[in-house]
Amino acid sequence: MKRIILSIFFYLLTALFLGSSVVQAVPLSLDQNIKAIQAKQEASGAEFFFVVIGDNRDGAQVYNRLVNRAKAFNPLFILNTGDFIREGQAFEYDSYIKQIAPVDIPILHLPGNHDVRYGSEIYRQYVGDLNWFFDLGDFRFIGLDNATGKFTEETVAFARKKLTSQKICLVAFHRPPAIGRWTVHAMIDDQKGGRGAEVMALIQEAKVHMVFLGHIHLYDEMLISGTHYIISAGGGAKLYDKYNFGKPEYGFVLVRVRPTRITHQWVPLD
């Protein structure tokens, strides 16, 4: 009888450990962080906050301060829009993992051009898929890859399949579309194969509420065909104060999601 009791005890202990590991936020692991977010949201209720930040390469101290500031809002997760390391080397990923390991908030990453400078293989090994999505109730979060400056056929097909007006879609990709004032530092023009207009047409058709971007190291917004396109790239890299638009300052976008309304605000570091 004693042996049976001990066996049951160890079985329950193992099950508890395995069950908790499934929803534990793991640095850089896309799949594990999505599971952690979904588990947290089920426990927290319908309303939640999340933080959008990007381009933190070469700015570890600033990024750490921003993450600590974000904690005050108790966000469900942090969305990093890319360029979180400098050259895309494995040792840089290892160093970044050590940096974010103490953070008790799930962080979802998108590939930036610096993260995949020598190809996407290392990124896939450390993070996961280049394109991803997940649902939280009526809301769908979609990450698209344009780190090389264009949307590939794979990414366009993914966007066409996952974007839908049946959900409230929130989309993110690293490089802003080559439109208006952003053309100074954006993705490749459509005439050269960028395919930005194609994806933006899908975004418009799905009535996407917000698109989150990085790459231009500042904060700026455009309302394009009814969708808010928001650059949040003040994560720690050297700011771009050479352009006559936006706010070249460190900070993040704080998004509040409620069943009937989504709002956002820029939160500067100081």
Predicted confidence (pLDDT) per residue in 224-259, tens digit: 999 999 999 999 999 999 999 999 999 999 999 998
pTM greater than 0.85 (yes/no): yes
Residue 44's pLDDT is 66
- What pLDDT sits at residue 43? 65
CATH number of 25-268: 3.60.21.10
- Residue 68 has what pLDDT? 97
pLDDT at residue 1, as a whole number: 40
Name the one residue in this structure whose structure tokens are 């975004």: 203
Q: State residue 25's pLDDT score.
A: 55
- pLDDT at residue number 195: 97
Strands (E), 41-167: 48-53, 77-80, 107-109, 132-136, 139-143
Enumerate residues 6+ apart whose C-beta is below 8 A from 55: 81, 82, 83, 112, 214, 215, 217, 233, 234, 235, 236, 237
User: What integer pLDDT is reported at residue 42 of this predicted model?
Assistant: 77
Q: Which amino acid is at 29?
A: S
Residue 62 has a pLDDT of 98
Instruction: Report the C-alpha gap between 130 and 186 in whole angstroms.
Output: 19
How many CA atoms lie less than 13 Å away from 231 in the CB half-sphere?
27
Report residue 229: phi and psi, to 5°: -100, 120
Q: What is the pLDDT of residue 3?
A: 35
Predicted pLDDT of residue 41: 87
Domain boundaries, the chain: 25-268
Segments of the chain with pLDDT less than 70: 1-26, 43-45
Residue 183, helix vs strand vs coil: helix
pLDDT at position 18: 36
pLDDT for residue 28: 93
Distance CA 92, CA 156 (A): 29
